[in-house]
Structure 1
Amino acid sequence: MTAQLACMTDDLGPEEAMLVELDGADGAPVAVAVARDADGNFHAVSDICSHGAVSLSDGEVEGCLVECWLHGSQFDLRTGMPVQLPAVRPVPVYPVTVDGERVLVDIDVTVPVS
């Protein structure tokens, strides 16, 4: 599969996130949190918190972090790494391409954790 249309650039302002469901390789929907950081860059991570199985897109975005609304875990949108407990496992990060006004996400590839 290739990158899929997740949203349009004007769907998100700085420090906002939204849930999108993209088509997985098996045809099942994959929940992705698409976020725009404070600098206006777009990021895509799994929408499911690695600690508490809740939607990260419902959390606050500050700078380049998204916070899980349930227990306060924070994840770096660039790496998926948790930077605030109680989460200790990263969330998958997906490559994002901005093509004009279109924000494309490739869920078949995950960005390696650095």
Structure 2
Amino acid sequence: MEDFIQVAQEEDVAEGKLLPLVVEGELICLARYEGQIYAFTDNCTHISGPLNEGGLEGCAITCPWHRAQFDVRTGKVLRGPARQDLMTYPVKVANGSIYISLPPEE
């Protein structure tokens, strides 16, 4: 898992809950939906609202500022005013630990 960084323990993310993190200076949010853990940027693409303060209903996270919605599995916009999808990160779970992979720095 050389490209993956350990960020949390599986027990830290309950079903239907969010966990905000800062990983190498990046604001990231973890969510558990149907037993799977997903990682995505914690800033709404509309005007950077804190998604971890929003609501998670099913696979949809709602920004608390202007109610934009995104699919936590894919980052796709489900409802505006956001037009740009969220950045998502690959997730691996091993031995009770959660790992994510950040894109290479340019």
After superposition, the C-alpha distances for 1:90-111 in whole angstroms (9 at most, x for unaligned) are 01010000112101111126xx
Any residues of structure 2 matched to 1:59-74 within 5 Å, and which? 59-74=54-69
Q: TM-score, normalised by structure 1?
A: 0.84
1:32 pairs with 2:44: no
Partner of 1:79: 74
User: Root-mean-square deviation (CA), in Å?
Assistant: 1.3
Residues of 1 paired with 2:64 and 2:95: CA distance?
32
* Matched positions, count: 103
Any residues of structure 2 matched to 1:43-62 within 5 Å, and which? 43-62=38-57
Residues of 2 paired with 1:61 and 1:6: CA distance?
20
1:99 pairs with 2:88: no
Partner of 1:26: none
How many Å apart are 1:52 and its aligned residue?
1.9
Residue 3 of structure 1 aligns with an amino acid whose one-letter code is F
Q: Give the secondary structure class of the aligned counterpart of 1:10.
A: helix
Runs (4+) of structure 1 exceeding 4 A deviation are none
Which residues of structure 2 form unaligned runs of 5+?
A: none
Residue 94 of structure 1 aligns with an amino acid whose one-letter code is Y
How many Å apart are 1:88 and its aligned residue?
1.1
After superposition, the C-alpha distances for 1:2-30 in whole angstroms (9 at most, x for unaligned) are 2111211111111111111111xxxxx01
Q: Give the secondary structure class of the aligned counterpart of 1:97.
A: strand
Q: TM-score, normalised by structure 2?
A: 0.90
Residues of 1 paired with 2:95 and 2:83: CA distance?
36
After superposition, the C-alpha distances for 1:17-49 in whole angstroms (9 at most, x for unaligned) are 1111111xxxxx011011111x12100001110
Q: Is the 8 A contact 1:18 1:58 kept in 2?
A: no
Give the share of equivalent positions with the same residue, in percent: 26
Residues of 1 paired with 2:36 and 2:57: CA distance?
12
